[in-house]
Structure 1
Amino acid sequence: MSMSDKEQTNGGLDAFFEAARAQAPAPSPDLLARVLADADATRQAHSTVGLVHVHTPAPRPGIAARLYRLLGGWPAMAGLATAALTGIWIGTALPEGLLGPDDATYLVDITPEMTFDLAGGEF
């Protein structure tokens, strides 16, 4: 038997609940008068201005802004840019720039007939 199957008793509160249900809640006349006076003052203030406020939706962010927010902001974008530039540098650098001086010399010894045509000259 679960808790929902048990007969629930309100412990003698039924009389108070019945009394509350019998009395319809209504605002006081003083409250209604203040609300109506405030509404009238607001309406008159807006009618003297003569401006119509049209709600326009905010523009959606572009693809770059969404990608920036998706990746985590400027720290992630800085790391991504650094990694991209490093990859481009490694991919386009000559082998001598990446190898030590001994390895570069060894490469030249293996292929002495190899020439590099940079700016039209032989090196």
Structure 2
Amino acid sequence: MNLPTPAPTSPPATPTHDVAPAADNTPPTRSKITGGLAALACAACCAIPLLITAGVLTGAGAALLEQTLLAIAAGLAVTALGLWWLHRRRSVHRASTARGSTTGCGSGSCGC
């Protein structure tokens, strides 16, 4: 005796409101802007020999400007990386808290 096979059932769809947000790995806009300013300071530092050749800067002025631009570029690069790290840390904490985690960052017991 042949019985009809039951129709395949699809798994129930998971509601989208229960899905916890994932951690955001992209750099925030403020970090991108700060990194762009650091690149601009590096480009200005590379333009110093052209300014000397054009007679706009003297040797002493170029040395002072070079050291200043290098310090500014390094400071802006460190700031951009720090802002990205802070954004990532907050994003992971938010995602962990939204999932209701009792361990890790959600519980406040970790050192991250």
Normalization by structure 2: what TM-score?
Answer: 0.25
TM-score w.r.t. length of structure 1: 0.23
